[in-house]
Structure 1
Amino acid sequence: MATISHRHSISKRSSVQQIQTQPSVPTKGKRVSSRSGPNDVKTTMSRLEYLNSKFNKDPSFDIEISGDEEDDEDGQNNSHDVNNNKNRKIDVQFDSKLMDIDILSKESNINQMEFSLDISISLLSPLFQYIQDFETNLDTLSNEMEILQSRLVDLNDEIKKNTIIDNQLTPILTDLLIPPQCIKILLNGKIDIKWVDQLTIIQEKREILMVYKTKEKVSSTNITELVSIIDKLEIKCIERIKRFMIDNIKQLRGTTTSSVKIQSRLLQVKEIFVFLKSKNNKLSKELETAYVYTMRWYYYFNFVKYISSLEGLKVLENDYDVDKKSISSSTASSTYQRSLLLDNTDLINEYLINLPKRLEKMADDNSNQYSILGQIAESTGINGMKFNMEQIFLFLNQAMMDNLTIEFNFIVEFFVLTNNDDMNNLIKQIFSPILRMGSNFTTYLLTNCKSDYFGILLTIRRIQRMEYEIQNRCLPELFDNYLNTQLLTLWPIFQRDIDVLCTSITQTLSSTSIIKYVVNSKNNILIPLKITQSFSMVLSNLLKLVQNLVFELETSEPLKGSIERLSNTFERGMVQLGGSLDEGKGKRKLFLYVNFQLVYNVLDNEMGTFSASAIKKAKNGSSTHFPTAPSVEDDTIGETTTVGEGLCKHYEQLVQAYT
């Protein structure tokens, strides 16, 4: 079905309202005109007739209703238009449903819709007003945004220009300006690592200013002012460093102060002395001298107390020499001590029996690297605990070496010393009195242990170990010279004791009592003499210490000659003593065989044990009794065992000669 469009143009006043000829009464939902007249009725009737003819003939039409109801001419024109429309022929189909439309009800609906529309309009009027205001504000905001956008563009241009300027000026300002926090710390802050960092910044600023002084980017006047500020800051820093050093040096003069703590505190800020040395060398020398003399007094004061506590310790060797009643006046003088006697009595020589324990302590590294505290030494002396000579010697000298190591490392690091002469001079000023006390203490030990020849030899070996340790620690020659002086003191005393021991052997073997003992047929000559047993123990233990050399070969020490003298003295005495026996009955050869066989067995057993352990430890890269010593090669082993092997072979030949 074709779609038919209708165009309606209806005036504000409905034609239906014009039909009513009676006075109009207002009706709910309808608008009724207050004016009516004959012309209105006529016009309305004409329209109705036109509509009736149209609806009866052709349902598809164009309604053209217009004009003012108050104007009669308009009504006539409308009538004329209707007549003209009659003459048009429109080829459409008639729809009978249009006749069923109730125009009045439609009009009522339209009036209701109009009424609802008025109400909606009245409700929407505030919204309409708000929208109008919003549009107005939006226009204003849009204008402001345009202004802001233009300002933003201008600001971006300014930022770009400022960025270029900042890129050019920022490095210069960073180089030249001194941070206020830096100045505050240098003037009022505590001297610590942070303070040293700020001092370094000031030094760097000075160097940078010197570079800018030759450039044209910065005014020379500004550079001069900044350099003046840095100069004043440095003067203040020098004053603060001086006060800081004096305070710490004063603390070292306290009787209960630990130098290690103060030195650790100074090493944390060791750069301050480098700064002081570069800015005021005279003041740095004065402070260095003040420190040296303070530490000289500090070590002297503390080592005096320490040595006095060591002097209170009891020495074991004195116990061996207490029983002098057993010493025969015919075989020994009053100056001889029990440990130096090798007699033929049945008394047990405790000195020789305790030698293996002392050698074990000698071989133990843990017992050779510590020194006893002064408080412990005092309490130990009071409690009556006893020590060997070499232990007491080690306590003092190990403490001296440890303190010298700490002090030497501090002086080199803090005072920035590179000249060996300067290092040695400072160490010599500090430790010369202490080293003299050490030498005097060694003399004191020798006075109280003058017959402890094994103690002297063990002390010599400990000194050799210290000499090796000095090389590892890279200490100055001062302490090495001190140890060499100690060796020069100990070796003659050791040789003197060996001489006394040889004299004791000679006097014992040539005494009337032992000759009667041997000649008496009631005594069994198949049993070795007591002196032979004692001599075998002495000889074997001396050979152990020959094999404990660190640096020097045995041929360069007096020990080799001492061992040979002892062996020759014993051999000569035994041969002379054997001459007292009857050679025809074979007693002399049997007597010599039994005694030399004992010596040979002891030496052979000792050398076999040493050879196995020496070779094993040499392969592991360590010496026999000095694990910290340099590695011993195979040819060195053969060299160091020459004395022992020679003696063992010699006594083997004696045994074979008297078999």
Structure 2
Amino acid sequence: MWLDRFGGAPPNASGTSTPQSIVRSYSPLPRRTTSGGLSPYVTSQRTGSSPRSSSLSLASNDSTSSLLSSSRKPNGSALRQTSTVYDGPSPEDIIEKLLEEIQDDTDQPQEPSFVKKEDLDLIPEFGGLSLKQLADRKGQGESDWEAQFSALSIRSHPAEEYDNRRTQFNELHQNITACDDILNSVETFLTSFRNDLANVSSDIESLQSRSAALNRRLNNRRAVEKALSPIIEELSISPETITRITEGHIDESWVRALNDLDRRATAHQKRTGSQPPKALEDLKPLLEKLILKAIERIRDFIVAQIRALRAPQINAQIIQQQNFLKFKDLFTFLHKHHQTLANEISLAYMNTMRWYYLNQFGRYEKALGKIKLHSLDKNDALGQEDTPRRANVLSAARIPGPPHDAFNLGRRIDILKTNNPSAISSYLAEEDQSTHYLEVPFRNFNLALMDNATAEYTFLATFFSPALSFAQISKNFNYIFDPTFELGRTLSKTLVGETYDAIGILLCIRLNQRLSFELQRRKVPAGEGYINATNMLLWPRLQVIMDRHCESVRSLTNSLPTKPSKSSSDPSKMTAAPHMLTQRFGALLEGFLALSTDAGDEEPVASSLRRLRTEVETFLTRQAQTYGSDKRKGSRFLYNNYSLVLTILGDIGGKMAIEQRHHFEKLKLAHQADA
């Protein structure tokens, strides 16, 4: 026991050292002897440290943490654990040394020791070292061991202090127990957390493998999609497109669905070879049925619009703009997939419009026929005298019309300068009570005809192209307008066939030329045939009228005597004033030159005016010879007539007018000396 050792009691009577060995086995410290024979545990040898410092030393002992760490159960966790590696002497060596010391102590005589009551309350202090560490230090050498052991101070504490601190120690024990429980729960939590981490790691590995597989599948699908998506996009037809084509109302969205179907059908036809894939073979019946359904609906729609054109009081251009041009892709699709049906529908449309224009312009021609016109016959020739003309009119029992001037242009040129681009309506033509010249109905009919021809040709070129070529479109246009053009030519023949209105004919020629320029500007070449046919009517008739004027002047010249007769009146009483023929010729020449400011020498007008001018000069020269021997008076007569012509011509522009003025100025200068 510890008391026997501290008291230094002698061995028992038997002389054995068994109690000493038993007591020695409980302490790792060697027994120390002093020279004074006193025990080292006497009170006088204690240090002066207070019991409080002993308590703190005990609390700070590392053996507590060692016991706590050793009390934990191994849990086999795979988590990394930190431990201190022991590098001191092995436990076998320590036990062997202790046994040797016990044997040495039994051989030496025991010295008596005196144990006091205070020694029972002592608390050994090992300098902050645990028993294990203290034993390790023993192996470092006897001197080192003695130095460490001599540094120990033993203090005694009274029993009252233990009683006072019992509660504190109990609380400390409870805290340690609670900490141990907490550490056990933390250990359990960490074990569960480790297991969860292992499961998560397994799940992550599974997800990684699945992700790699999905990536491979995604890459494969992308490669397949890249190769197949253009083909699928070209050939696939959505259910919305099928429903719209078969059941939807024909509008802009229906046209878009039709164009989409046409693209799919074209792509299917291109990809169908000698051995088409099975997918294309399965799609072909659906495409054929859908195309036939679209053709059926297009046929019904266009036929309904053609029937609407035959309704009374209908405006064909409104139907063309709103119901035909708006859906021009329908005919293109029809002609591409069923050309025979497209040609039949095209023929039905042409027959309808042929009847429509002939009917409308027939009514318009009748309305223009009610306009009152000035009648100019062969008695209105340039060399025709007024007295015979009036006699012929009265002898024919004709009611004379409103007064008119067959040789003066006047305000008739305004019909070329008007800013009104439209023709007179049928209602206004029937209600008009004034009298006009022949160019008025000619202009209104041909202007309306050209406007409608332009609109129809533009419609044909827009609606039937590119299904039909422009050559075929021109043929269709001529088929539609041939009866109407024939009606226009008949009207022109009626207006100019019996008239001798040279200015009216030339006005019609200029109007026809302007219509030709307008057709060229509008890019309607199909109307050139009608324009040329009208010119073939007007130019020959103008030549006939000019020939009639020349013939009348020639007849008047031939009626004059070649030599002055004795029976003629006194030359001194004859006037040198300009002749009536000169007045008519000057007015007619001024009208022709005003209408030919932009004309060239290649036109028949220039040659006709030269012929007429020659006849007039011949007449004036013959008339001047009637003055007999009074040559001066004859020259004055010629001077006055040429001056009148120059005065009438005035400052008219144009190459032809300059030529005529230059010619008459030379004639005037030739007779100026005698004037």
Same fold? TM cut 0.5: yes
Q: Deviations over 1:146-199 (max 9, x none)?
A: 526624641441343144135315425444432222222222234445434433
Q: 1:411 aligns with which of 436, 460, 475?
A: 460
Q: 2:244 aligns with which of 170, 185, 189?
A: 185
- Paired position in structure 2 for 1:236: 293
Is 1:248 equivalent to 2:293 in the alignment?
no
- Paired position in structure 2 for 1:295: 353
Change (3 A) 1:244 1:134: farther
Is 1:329 equivalent to 2:387 in the alignment?
yes
Contact 2:642 2:664 in 1 (8 A): no
C-alpha displacement of 1:397: 1.3
Structure 1 spans left out of the alignment, 5+ residues: 1-48, 67-74, 338-347, 615-636
Q: Deviations over 1:286-331 (max 9, x none)?
A: 111101101101111221232233334444779xx99xxx984335
Cα separation, 1, equivalents of 2:187 and 2:584: 130
C-alpha displacement of 1:104: 9.1
Aligned partner letter, 2:344: E
Q: What TM-score, normalized by structure 1, do the two folds share?
A: 0.65
Cα separation, 1, equivalents of 2:251 and 2:512: 41
- Paired position in structure 2 for 1:583: 629
Cα separation, 2, equivalents of 1:283 and 1:495: 52
Q: What is the percentage of aligned positions where both structures have the same residue?
A: 22
Q: Deviations over 1:487-524 (max 9, x none)?
A: 33323433444355456657888699xx9999686786
Change (3 A) 1:379 1:152: farther
- Paired position in structure 2 for 1:395: 444
Give 3-state SS (helix, strand or coil) of 2:595's partner.
helix
Q: 1:161 aligns with which of 195, 206, 217?
A: 217
- Paired position in structure 2 for 1:452: 501
Matches within 5 A, 1:55-454: 56=48, 82=124, 140=196, 143=199, 146-147=202-203, 150-151=206-207, 153-169=209-225, 170-171=228-229, 172-210=231-269, 213=272, 220-264=277-321, 265-315=323-373, 328-330=386-388, 333-334=391-392, 355-359=409-413, 361-362=415-416, 364=417, 366=419, 370-374=421-425, 377-379=426-428, 381-382=430-431, 384=433, 388-415=437-464, 416=466, 422-446=472-496, 450-454=499-503
Is 1:465 equivalent to 2:514 in the alignment?
yes
Cα separation, 1, equivalents of 2:553 and 2:253: 74
Q: Deviations over 1:184-242 (max 9, x none)?
A: 222223444543443343344345445655599x8x43321211111111111211121
Cα separation, 1, equivalents of 2:574 and 2:169: 162
Cα separation, 2, equivalents of 1:409 and 1:180: 37
Change (3 A) 1:134 1:239: farther
Contact 2:571 2:627 in 1 (8 A): no
Q: 1:560 aligns with which of 603, 606, 609?
A: 606
Cα separation, 1, equivalents of 2:568 and 2:405: 24
Q: What TM-score, normalized by structure 2, do the two folds share?
A: 0.64
Structure 2 spans left out of the alignment, 5+ residues: 1-40, 62-116, 128-145, 396-402
Is 1:534 equivalent to 2:584 in the alignment?
yes
Contact 1:54 1:61 in 2 (8 A): no
- Paired position in structure 1 for 2:84: none
Cα separation, 2, equivalents of 1:58 and 1:443: 154
Cα separation, 2, equivalents of 1:211 and 1:110: 105
Change (3 A) 1:643 1:432: farther
Contact 1:536 1:602 in 2 (8 A): yes
Cα separation, 1, equivalents of 2:202 and 2:359: 89
CA root-mean-square deviation: 5.3
Give 3-state SS (helix, strand or coil) of 1:270's partner.
helix
Q: Deviations over 1:118-141 (max 9, x none)?
A: 89x99xx99x98998899589658
Cα separation, 1, equivalents of 2:539 and 2:126: 163
Cα separation, 1, equivalents of 2:344 and 2:477: 17
Cα separation, 2, equivalents of 1:507 and 1:434: 43
Q: Deviations over 1:59-109 (max 9, x none)?
A: 97686699xxxxxxxx99966865999x989999x9xxx9xx999999989
Aligned partner letter, 1:544: A
- Paired position in structure 1 for 2:107: none
Give 3-state SS (helix, strand or coil) of 1:329's partner.
helix
Is 1:543 equivalent to 2:593 in the alignment?
yes
Q: Deviations over 1:22-80 (max 9, x none)?
A: xxxxxxxxxxxxxxxxxxxxxxxxxxx989984647897686699xxxxxxxx999668
Cα separation, 2, equivalents of 1:84 and 1:243: 119
Give 3-state SS (helix, strand or coil) of 1:257's partner.
coil
Q: Deviations over 1:584-627 (max 9, x none)?
A: 37332222222223224544x44xx52xxx5xxxxxxxxxxxxx
Contact 1:331 1:511 in 2 (8 A): no
Cα separation, 2, equivalents of 1:474 and 1:211: 37
Change (3 A) 1:417 1:80: closer
- Paired position in structure 1 for 2:95: none
Q: Deviations over 1:383-411 (max 9, x none)?
A: 54665432431222122223222322333
Aligned partner letter, 1:393: F
Cα separation, 1, equivalents of 2:370 and 2:44: 154
C-alpha displacement of 1:417: 6.5
